[in-house]
Chains A and B, each alone.
Chain A
Amino acid sequence: MTSAVYSPNKSSGLRDFIPHLPAGVWSLSGFSLLWFGGIVLPLLAIILVSFLQGRGLNINFDPTIKQYERFFSYGGGDMLARSVRIAGTVTIIELLLAFPFALWLAKGCKNNTVKLLTFTALTVPFFLSPAARVIVWRSVFGINGVVNQVLLGAGIVDKPVLWLIFSEFSVHFGFIGAFFPTMVWPIFLSISLIDNDYLEASGDLGASRLRTLLHIIFPLALPGIVAGFVFTFIPMLGDAVVSSYMGGNNVLMLAAQVQSLIGVSNFLVAAALAAVVLAIMLAFQVLLWFALKPVGGLAGVFASLRR
């Protein structure tokens, strides 16, 4: 170790990027190799697998589009369209609810206790079992559930309301609570990074609030909005819990379909389905990439947090 000797030129070349722990570059390379080889490539390999054929666990490497034909002939297209429609609708509802709320939280709310409590309320659900968050709705909305008991007792309806559970209504409802934080957080972060001076300057120059919102806040918050859209829509599309608890067998969505295909060892059709979803996901990733470009990409978002 010659570190006691001060040399002004020591931070040059590679050392510029890795200013400490020369071992760091090796461990990073090693970890990245494992991660990309063990995780990223296998995930992308679904697309390859979906073009193969075989039965059960035996597959051979003859390229074919048979799996896609089978998938769509079994009504897979309808299921996929339904999943995308439900997830898309709820994501837009979340956006309409979350944007004003995040705006208020970032710029309007001056009470630190309220802020802290709201942050905590928005963070805790990430670490709770997804099942624990929806399981009760069955008892509340079921045929003999609380809502029906109250409605019957008050004489508003003659017989139990059936569409409260195991319907598209209940699936939408279950999603709205569960996926609110993933929409609020990115929008909140992007709005709180907007300099207050911009907003004041806009007001001083005579712009109305609406004009400031549309011409200053909205464009600057766009990366957060797109990130929120992606982080809400994507997990919702693949959600296994809400759709099965709230939708039952009446609202078949992606996750249930994948599971039933795997359950009957129809691996390759499942791969075709997964590949279609993966393609949608990659398209979104490209969208996110372009949306974050003005702020220097994903890395830029973190660089701005340094302040």
Chain B
Amino acid sequence: MTIGNLSPTRFRLPFWQRLADWAPTGISIIFGYAVLFILYFPIAMLMILSFSGEPNTGIPGDWTLTWYESVIFADTAQREGEAYGSNFRVGDPLLLSIMLAFITAVACVIAVLIVGPILPRIKWRGPFLVGFLMPLMIPGIVGGVGLFMWYRLVIHVKMGIWSLVLAHFVWAFPFALLAMLVVASRFDTRLMEAAEDLGAKPWQRFWQIEIPILKPGIYAAGFFGFLLSFNELPFSIFMRSGQDTLPLYLWIQSGAHNTTVPLIFAMSTIVTVGSIGLTFLAIKLAFGGGKNDVK
């Protein structure tokens, strides 16, 4: 509160001047939330339409669970698929995506535990940080092509699961690292010194001091790794060999056959609800308890 706000002249301003006072703020708030509405409207619409009889028209109504049945029961999907002139099978891509996401999450946790606690304390951290965060600065499609060129064309390695894991790790690691750095740069290293002075062995210091304090960052890195890998598309386009990940499969299906769109709506809704749930859990675990732990 500034002193100016307390002066009585403020209350005698004419109406148009008071309007001019808060209009810019009001307009920026309205526009900001309008964009958020544009961002969330299609997601909400997707969920509503996935329960509708004719999702392709964009008009909700004629409520049904058919699409979910088709997605969940593979044999039904086969039957529906034939009826719709396509072959919508989501099981294998889903399993592959879950597996990739899990591996990526574990890899991210290990990597940020190696890098995170040390990086804020070394002298030449700038170049390291730029190198580690580089994938954030490259359009995904160019990154995918770049890695593909190098591994396939220059050193002649065949693509496979390993290359998808690599691609997803490249994409997720910078985010996981950023989350860990927020926690790690608050880490008071005197705790480690104190523990050392009190006779704690290196592994004891690691398990009993470092891990508990860095826990929010570890959770965040794990969830970021999982969710970012699970929904990753641009890198996967080039780094796969044969198998499709779930986003890739849904993307190809939606481009190829208009008729499978209802099933894609249902599948996307399941994935979206799962992702939102996991995101909330991640935010709660990573940053909710953090403020109470560190006083």
Residues of A within 8 A of B (CB): 1, 3-4, 6, 11, 17-25, 27-28, 31-32, 35-36, 38-43, 45-46, 49, 57, 59, 97-98, 100-101, 103-105, 108, 118, 120-137, 139-140, 142, 144-146, 149, 173, 176-178, 180-181, 184, 200, 203-204, 230-231, 234-235, 237-241, 244-245, 254-255, 258-259, 262, 267, 270-271, 274, 277-278, 281, 284-285, 288-289, 297-299, 302-303, 305-306
Contacts of A136 in B (CB 8 A): 41-43, 45-46, 49, 58, 265
B123 beta carbon closer than 8 Å to chain A: yes
Nearest CB in chain B: distance from A306 CB, A: 5
Q: Give Cα A101 to B250, complex, Å.
A: 34
Pair A254/B28 contact, Cβ less than 8 Å: no
Contacts of A149 in B (CB 8 A): 59
Nearest CB in chain A: distance from B19 CB, A: 14
Count A/B pairs, Cβ under 8 Å: 313
Q: Give Cα A299 to B184, complex, Å.
A: 12
> Nearest CB to that of A236 among chain B residues?
B139
Nearest CB in chain A: distance from B131 CB, A: 5
Q: Give Cα A192 to B167, complex, Å.
A: 34
Partner pick for B137 among A39, A134, A284, CB 8 A cutoff: A284
Q: What class of interface size applies to chain B in its complex with A?
A: 35 or more
Contacts of B8 in A (CB 8 A): none
Contacts of B29 in A (CB 8 A): 101, 104
Given known A-B contacts A43-B146, A131-B251, A132-B271, A21 and B130 have beta carbons under 8 A apart: no
Partner pick for B264 among A21, A31, A49, A135, CB 8 A cutoff: A135
Pair B268/A255 contact, Cβ less than 8 Å: no
Pair A298/B154 contact, Cβ less than 8 Å: no
Pair B142/A98 contact, Cβ less than 8 Å: no
Q: Give Cα A144 to B57, complex, Å.
A: 7
Q: Give Cα A59 to B182, complex, Å.
A: 45
Pair A131/B154 contact, Cβ less than 8 Å: no
Pair A140/B185 contact, Cβ less than 8 Å: no
Pair B137/A20 contact, Cβ less than 8 Å: no
Contacts of B264 in A (CB 8 A): 135
Given known A-B contacts A18-B122, A97-B32, A31 and B234 have beta carbons under 8 A apart: no
Partner pick for A27 among B39, B114, B120, B278, CB 8 A cutoff: B114
Counting chain A CB atoms within 10 Å of each CB, the highest count among B55, B146, B233 belongs to B146
Pair A120/B130 contact, Cβ less than 8 Å: no
Given known A-B contacts A108-B25, A139-B57, A278 and B138 have beta carbons under 8 A apart: yes
> Nearest CB to that of A32 among chain B residues?
B128
Q: Give Cα A181 to B135, complex, Å.
A: 18
Q: Give Cα A3 to B203, complex, Å.
A: 13
Pair B275/A127 contact, Cβ less than 8 Å: yes
Nearest CB in chain A: distance from B210 CB, A: 7
Nearest CB in chain B: distance from A54 CB, A: 9
